[in-house]
Structure 1
Amino acid sequence: MASELHETIFMAKQERHKNLFLNYRNLNHFPVELLKDDGLQFLERLYMKRNSLTTLPDNLAQKLPNLIELYLHSNNIVLIPEAIGNLARLQSLDLSSNALQLLCPEVGRLRSLRHLRLSNNQLKSLPPEIGDLQFLETLDVSMNQLVSLPDRLHRCSSLQHLSADHNLLSHVPRHLCRLARLTQLSMAANRLTFLPLDLGGSRELQFVFVDNNLYLKGLPSYLYNKVIGCSGCGVTPHGGDTDKEGQDEALSEALFGLPAEVKAVASEADNVVTLEELAMRTLHRLYHRQRCHPTDVTFPPPIPLPKSLLDLLQFPLGHCHRCTQAMFTVIYPKLFPLQHTALAGVHRRTTVSFVAYCCSSRCLRTFNLQG
């Protein structure tokens, strides 16, 4: 086996191969032949699937500087070195089905990276630096032990596919609603109790899979007419009740687990928005106008605010499903039971409903799921 491996690498060096396949070689260590002398300066794709590697060499980028794709699926890698960040041309990194417990922040230096696959590991967190990967299109962190996703993930402006199935996630960061190119979001088999009010507001997002989140009771109405997987959600059957009492009970279940920022759930009879909410909306409009017209001297100077408040102004809790007004502390919910929608005949094992979130009693009265 050793002689065969040596011959394969020798031929790759002699013939200046761009692709090298070392799958199923029973390797316990990274082959030293790849790192001798000048290494393989011309190698672009290295496949080392289903071996027994436990780590990577620190001089990997120095010896294989032109790697574009690195496939390490199904090894025993516990740690990847900080030097991984020196692979300046790397576009695809597959570390699925290893034993990773920690991902080094230097991954954020892989500025050319487009596809990052980390499924089936033992990760409990992801470094915030992942948000620096502006060309990242695919991120798969399924089957780990994640309890949250980095807030800076919304900076991955090219992200199209995000998979985080089978983790311990209790919520979806509302900042992800800002991912304008996201087309598919999969967060099945987690511990979700609610979804961001704005989720689905982007036209690009067409596929959302949240199956088997037992305590998820409501879907934002923006997801209506998207391709949705929600089988196995909800734990209390709604039945077919359509009377007022049944609707109120279903609505209270659908609102279970709303984010802590929601300080009030208003009703159609509440015609006055709180002063706190009005102040936040006014500040939001002011800062939005200043960002859009930074050189316009007719606007008043920016008001100094603490960072926590500035973050909230940048990422409102949600936007009214009727008029798109930003909302911060109060919502007006309107329930649309599943049996009244197109999903009723598809997801028979789910008890979720669509919930519209409005900014005022007026929008609440005029909102229609179909329109």
Structure 2
Amino acid sequence: MAKGKEAKGTQVTLQTARKAIRMMPNGQHRLTLSNMGITIFPKCLLKLTNVDELDLSRNLIEKLPESIGNFSSLRRLDLHSNKLESVPESIGKLVGLTHLNLSNNCLTSAGLPSTLGSLASLKSFNLGLNQLDALPPTLKGLESLQELGLFDNFFTMVPEFVTDLRNLTKVNMKQNWPSHCQDDGEGMMKKISESKEEVFLVRESNLCETCLKRCKEQEERFTEGEGSDKMENKRIRTYSGLMVPNSVARVHQDVWRIRPY
């Protein structure tokens, strides 16, 4: 599989796409084009709208075409770990969709269309690892929804309509960044508090050797060490149906776009 510079702008031909279609044990057809360095939604896929499952995860796609609504047979759509900032309104035409994974993208609340509420057959909806602080109220129409992933976003509370979803059994809201946190302009998060208490940001160069070592040890435990693995495994067991990209922090977003299976 292509990597690095060769992976950027990978062109997918109709022949390549057809070869990537597999028959699943349940008789459905799955088209997998994951982790191929695709930057633009392949137009040739519009000739394969009879597939039941489409996996375009771990690519670099920034925009979906309005024609995405032509995949009338689609039951599962996996777009996790791309660079999507919005979703077209035509996605509401995929009324047979049961699983939708939009996690680990760049989605904002303004980029979510109200037509998502038309996906009445949807059972699993993953919106984790994005930039959301609110959801369209029309999502109360997702009567079949069982699992909802909202982890690693900017929510300060559970959306009100969630209590109206009678079949909902799992809601993952772990690690949401409160609205009173802001980027200081240099990649650091600074807490804006109404109280007089302040938080000071310290550079590595200002730390003594002992403190610097302690900070690095803590960072390794959360990003590379055993603590991270345990937390990841725990999420998989608890929210397996959400197809979570196993990330425990926002800083892992780009890693999961290129990490191989």
TM-score (norm 1): 0.42
1:144-183 equivalences under 5 Å are 144-183=130-169
Helix, strand or coil: the match of 2:138?
A: helix
- 5+ residue gaps, structure 2, are 180-190, 192-261
Retained in 1: the 8 A contact 2:80–2:105?
Answer: yes
Retained in 1: the 8 A contact 2:11–2:42?
Answer: no
Aligned to 1:135: 121
1:323-365 CA-partner distances (Å, limit 9, x unpaired): xxxxxxxxxxxxxxxxxxxxxxxxxxxxxxxxxxxxxxxxxxx
Task: Tell me by how many angstroms 1:60 deviates.
Answer: 2.5
1:90-116 CA-partner distances (Å, limit 9, x unpaired): 000111111111111111111110100
- Larger relative contact order (CA 8 Å, sep ≥ 6): 2
More helix by share: 2
Calculate percent identity across the aligned residue pairs: 37
Aligned to 1:46: 31
Runs (4+) of structure 1 exceeding 6 A deviation are: none
Aligned to 1:111: 95
1:282-321 equivalences under 5 Å are none
1:1-371 equivalences under 5 Å are 26=7, 28-34=10-16, 44-58=29-43, 60-61=45-46, 63-125=47-109, 126-191=112-177
- Distance in 1 of aligned mates of 2:172 and 2:161: 16
1:197-235 CA-partner distances (Å, limit 9, x unpaired): xxxxxxxxxxxxxxxxx9xxxxxxxxxxxxxxxxxxxxx
Q: Which amino acid aligns with 1:184?
A: K
Retained in 2: the 8 A contact 1:91–1:114?
Answer: yes
TM-score (norm 2): 0.59
Report how many aligned residue pairs link the two structures: 169
1:103-134 CA-partner distances (Å, limit 9, x unpaired): 11111111110100011110012211110000
Q: Which amino acid aligns with 1:148?
A: A
Bigger radius of gyration among the two: 1
Task: Tell me by how many angstroms 1:192 deviates.
Answer: 6.2
1:158-177 CA-partner distances (Å, limit 9, x unpaired): 00000110101123221111
Q: Which amino acid aligns with 2:10?
A: N
- 5+ residue gaps, structure 1, are 3-24, 194-213, 215-371
Retained in 1: the 8 A contact 2:152–2:177?
Answer: no
- Distance in 2 of aligned mates of 1:139 and 1:31: 29
